[in-house]
Structure 1
């Protein structure tokens, strides 16, 4: 922190947003979705709030709600105290952003501000949000306001800016009906995903998902909505069921409307056939002129040009809400009006009424402001008043004929006053139309008396009825009608979530994810999996890309076939957007090794472990974290887990780690360990004092006879995760025994291909820790192969590379490690250089290998550079002889496997051609021998030509 200057003020405000991120799930800063701004204070780093005269008072004057912020003091007014004592302006921007969102109706309180290490004047500002566009806009406006209070900005009017911000928030916010359903869902721990910028929302996950749009649900029939939208058809159906409905006719011209009105009898109502929200409805029409004028109004609001003329039913306007065939709430709707006080004019009374803080624009608040238009002025005139007249005290002056809330009306709760006969009529009407959620509009003298005796009728049935009049009545008790709607979609006791297993770690997470998915596929589950290769739904690759981020996770959870999710979670996705969900039932951490260091502020292994630990922190109390006990940094993550721990370890009995695990199991914990025997290593699952043998490591295809120790560890992690997710012992065993590293089950991960008698392994190894364990496997495999054959020595050729965004030292270390395990190293580069010039990455790897070779005691004798991947593959195969082992560390595994397959087919075709020649009796054996020798000379020449074409040979 800079030294505090005397209170003279900075020359100019320089608070800027250097970077903005939106976390859509748990992240390194918060368990909740959050906005992350990196702000640069510039010269303001030297000016805390106590050095800026009047700053605090002016800010509180503009945003009085800041007085309720507790900050670190834990009491109201704590933040104001901090400002008066002196705090930095990044911290102020955090609280202002939260308060701006509260002004928009978002009840958010969590935030934090932390200095960026090594960058004086820069701060990480993190705060919660409900809607990301509103949250980002709040951050930008907060920065502008802070700068403005330090030094006024020309043309900046905070009141105007705040009004614009609130309008934007209102446009993107959920409506009151959708909001009520979501609040109920959240209270039941039902997750939701917003599917568009309006009101289309998915409740639940995967196979359990249901959708809503406002109050229409996945169970709302399209045919029922069409019927409800056709008022003529609605009336006919209700009338055929013996329900009270008004007389009506459908017309398409003003003359026909007049004729219909004569036949029905005045007074009448004219309304559009397929309108909504009371638009175009004209009531109590007494003569032909009024009907003609009303026809034009109704026709303008009709989508198909049809207009209904029906008998005018006198009485009060009631809205009955039916959910699942049962009455849930009744509200009396009173049209927009003012009540005279003998002092103010009608216009002044409207202004006074609209000043009610409960009234806003549209659905922004629980009541809508009364709009004074030509129709309202005319209605006032018909009641004997002008807008500038003063009505007597107690006199009600209507400004609208319909009682819709959207036109400024109010509601009075009448739920418990309705007569049982009226309730039965409304429920029967909803059943006749077929709506799961219906708004039945009754007009009758009193809902407490049976309409069949007192008169009245159902004038309309509405699909997607609004909830605002019931959840926020102007008079009476609110009705919690979202509960039956959510009950309809998720009956009590029914699931809304699919099990989620999240897998992270530096190395092995893709293979572990595939093993877990394979186990549960064998059980019969429809598994959705994300990985660095793409999104797989029930073994079908639906999206090919690096899909280890939060957006891919949401794509899986939106798929209606998925009943089990396995998420590979990469460091980059966590830093960029956080997790794509709120929690995972099982978290797996394979290891933490130096990779991606020096990127996005992650410079140490401890910081990288903090990022990986996000999936552990997302485990609920009834969940599990499967952790590698052999890794010190992973072992420390147990303190961040709210659930139970399942350890896995390769360490033998008697080691310090095994003693730690045994103590854990004695206390009822779970673990997956190796038990060495005379027949080999046995994977054992321990639960409390029970020990359950799972499988011999050498019998698992993915371990290549037990030599691939890293896949032994991956199999143990997968077994621990499957056991935690309630898979049976037999299912886990069967899954691991049938999981192979062929290209179909595990593309690009330890795929073994035999090309011309050469064992070729294709893997994604791209960092030094992975190369170390891969090299140990190659050593063991080559020695095993030499012992089983007549080969005196198996040569090992490795194609090595890494991504260009790694640190120089990491690249050199990769080369140094590889030099211990391969006789020949062929170094290539990825197609994407990631900011480096061509050849630079390869040269750094080669430099590390050469330095290690200079020290002696390494296997490598030759380092070659072939930049293009396919060319490097061809060169490796050309350098190998039958019986040798080639390891290809690939970037584009599909292209590499295609090239290897082409080589294999070419070799097979040549063998068939030679076989055909030998079987031909017309060929002279001497000629055949000569041709074979010639063919061999040509092949040798081609091999030598390929070797000569390779540059940079050491």
Structure 2
């Protein structure tokens, strides 16, 4: 999205220049799509905005996944997107969890399969003593009619394994209606279920980790007559609401008039050119799903304790950590044991949109309890990251640090110019000092600590591959290999290398070579606690380093001595540790 916006912004500025100055080159290096008309010919703002919306729909995370990602980021949990859809890693290394929409690392595949089989779901719930409608699975229209007559009208007909309300028909009272409904449902599933029809309002109860966290009353797509305009015109007006968009891009979805809509209208004796009376509510869909243009009203504070208990027990009966319970009740504030009603479906991967941004009522941060479940308070979410850069010595330093950490019993993920290593085993043989190799290590669920050689080529190409590190080290900055990729001076090179220490976490440590003036010049950009290393100790110690130590700063220096040419002295918070014989 950013790349497309950047390219189009340059095209816009170019179009505003005098003709003699127009003609920007190299735009394809930013973003290229030969099928996108906005990139060709004179700049067209409408075409540019259309291109941006297209990229947003194709690449942006959906509202459920986005809410979880934003909640993770608020908590400082690292986020890595693993594909172009909704597969996201939260945390790094051994502490990672994964989500795809509201499916989590803790979601049982058996439970997901059970929820996808509506007949099995109903059987499991009935065995748990929960209120569910009577029903039968059928394979033909004739069987559907016979089942409806045995169950008793009115009935519901729906695909056995459908979703988003597709192919669902409710409140059917005749054999002809059941036959048409079977034909509609069979487009979405080879097997169809016929069941008794609960009377009441449609509710979605969201259960996370065994607790009810949100309740929404769902209202089917509808229009309200004004005595003047047709149903088509009223739908057009409703769709002008800026909160409505295509698919899941906005709070609500635009209403579409399709064959199902025509059938619902016909059942009410209406057509698209009918003019409803003033105040007449015309429903356009049998189901209340937001994906078909429905709206949602928050009822979290209104649910009766009995109804909440039923929803909690239903989620446990199926075995889902995150479950959307479709619940029909005449009055959600009263127990269905008194009013009638009950559970018509249990959904794995329920959407959060109706709770995050209801059409009416209070918004609920339903991502919070999911994150509490995945990462309980005090649970680690990130492995330590040590990023090492510099002109010379970074490969040797990275391997030495990795060796020391392995000796402490840690499983080390190491990247260097010779490859990617996990616990000493080389898993990739290549120049692996860029962001791609860093992501390989951070995605490995066996790694305890990451030691990452970080070269300037990868930084210039696509950044670091991580947002924060615990230790950032600059070995030195020398005028080697200048003139590549726009880096023409040693100051340019220092600016690139500084990215590593700028990424140090506020509780981390930046380590600079005190004997390298360019490295020292980056101290004001360094994040976290500042440390130095130096071969100049004793009387040769630079004044700035002496002041740093006297102020309680951290440093490792070599001082002149008689044993093997000197001794290493570690200065930390005013204390000195002498390591003789090094």
Bigger radius of gyration among the two: 1
Query: Is 1:212 matched with 2:99?
Result: yes
> Would the aligned equivalents of 2:5 and 2:52 in 1 still touch at CA under 8 Å?
no
- CA shift, 1:136, in A, is 4.2
Contact 2:563–2:580 at 8 Å: present in 1 too? no
Paired residues for 1:458-857 under 5 Å: 458-657=343-542, 659-680=543-564, 681-694=566-579, 696-697=581-582
Structure 2 CA distance, aligned partners of 1:598 and 1:589? 21
The answer to whether the aligner puts 1:332 opposite 2:217 as a matched pair is: yes
Query: d(CA) in 1 for partners of 2:203 and 2:489?
Result: 66
CA RMSD of aligned residues (A): 2.7
Superposed CA offset, 1:768-804 (max 9, x none)? xxxxxxxxxxxxxxxxxxxxxxxxxxxxxxxxxxxxx
Q: Summarize the Cα distance change of 1:377–1:296 in structure 2 as closer, same or farther, 3 Å threshold.
A: closer
Report if aligned partners of 1:35, 1:136 keep a CA contact under 8 Å in 2: no
Distance 1:228 1:513 in 2: 49
1:148 aligns with 2:35: no
Matched, 1:227 2:121: no
| Residues 1:48 and 1:285: Cα distance change in structure 2 (over 3 Å) | closer
Residue 343 of structure 1, aligned match among 228, 239, 251 = 228
Moved over 6 A (4+): 34-41, 140-143
Confirm or deny that 1:239 pairs with 2:239: no
Task: Tell me how far apart the structure 2 counterparts of residues 393 and 525 of structure 1 sit (CA, whole Å).
Answer: 73
- Residue 193 of structure 1: SS of its match in structure 2? strand
Query: Any unmatched runs of 5+ in structure 2?
Result: none
Task: Give 1:36 shift.
Answer: 7.6
Deviations 1:453-474 (A, max 9, x none): 1000100000000111111111
Deviation of the 1:335 alpha carbon: 0.5
Higher relative contact order (CA 8 A, sep 6+): 2
Cα distance in 1 for partners of 2:278, 2:16 equals 57
Evaluate the alpha carbon distance shift between residue 159 and residue 202 of structure 1 in structure 2; reply closer, same or farther with a 3 A threshold: same
Aligned partners of 1:337 and 1:522: how far apart in 2?
A: 67
Deviations 1:93-123 (A, max 9, x none): xxxxxxxxxxxxxxxxxxxxxxxxxxxx999
Cα shift at 1:620: 2.6
| Distance of 2:514 and 2:383 partners within structure 1 | 28
**What does the per-residue CA deviation read over 1:500-529, in whole Å, with 9 as the maximum and x for residues that have no partner?**
111011111011111111111111211111
Give the TM-score normalised by the residue count of structure 1: 0.58
1:323 aligns with 2:208: yes
Tell me, in whole angstroms, the C-alpha distance in 2 between the residues paired with 1:444 and 1:35.
47
Q: Aligned partners of 1:122 and 1:663: how far apart in 2?
A: 51
Q: Note if 1:358 corresponds to 2:252.
A: no
- Aligned position for 1:173: 60
Q: Secondary structure at 2:187's aligned position in 1?
A: helix
Q: Counterpart of 2:552 in 1: which secondary structure?
A: coil
Q: Give the structure with the larger helix fraction.
A: 1
Correspondence 1:162 to 2:56: no
Q: Contact 2:206/2:324 (CA < 8 Å) preserved in 1?
A: yes
Structure 2 Cα separation of the partners of residues 175 and 415 of structure 1: 23
Aligned-partner SS, 2:524 = helix
Distance across 1 between alignment mates of 2:323 and 2:359: 21
CA, structure 1 residues 558+421, in 2 after alignment: closer, same or farther (shift >3 Å)? same
Contact 1:21 / 1:577 at 8 angstroms: preserved in 2? no
Mapped partners of 2:7, 2:48: distance in 1: 20
Q: Check 1:137–1:476 CA distance in 2 against 1; reply closer, same or farther (3 A cut).
A: farther
Q: Which residue matches 1:906?
A: none
Change (3 A) 1:342 1:166: same
- CA, structure 1 residues 321+547, in 2 after alignment: closer, same or farther (shift >3 Å)? same
Residues in 2 aligned to 1:521 and 1:476: alpha-carbon distance in whole angstroms: 55
Map of 1:269 onto structure 2: 156
Q: What residue in structure 2 maps to residue 443 of structure 1? A: 328
**How far 1:481 sits from its partner (Å)?**
0.4
Counterparts of 2:80 and 2:157, CA distance in 1? 41
Partner of 1:753: none
Deviation at 1:385, TM superposition (A): 2.3
> Structure 1 CA distance, aligned partners of 2:237 and 2:152?
40
- 2-structure distance, mates of 1:141, 1:333: 38
How many matched pairs? 578
- 1:618 positional shift: 1.1
Q: Tell me if structure 2 keeps the 8 A contact 1:331–1:469.
A: yes
- Secondary structure at the counterpart of residue 469 of structure 2: coil
C-alpha distance in 2 between matches for 1:220 and 1:201: 15
How far apart in 1 are the matches of 2:134 and 2:225? 36
How far residue 364 of structure 1 moved from its aligned partner, in angstroms, is 1.4
Whole-angstrom CA distance in 2 between matches of 1:35 and 1:159: 13
- 1:332 offset after TM fit, Å? 0.5
SS at match of 1:671: strand
- Deviation, 1:214, is 0.8
Report the alpha carbon displacement of residue 213 of structure 1 after superposing the two structures with TM: 0.4
Consecutive unaligned residues of structure 1, counting only runs of 5 or more, are: 1-19, 23-33, 53-87, 91-120, 126-132, 150-156, 698-954
How far apart, CA to CA, are the structure 2 residues paired with 1:446 and 1:645? 62
CA apart distance, 1:650: 0.9
- CA spacing shift, 1:37–1:669, aligned 2, 3 Å: farther
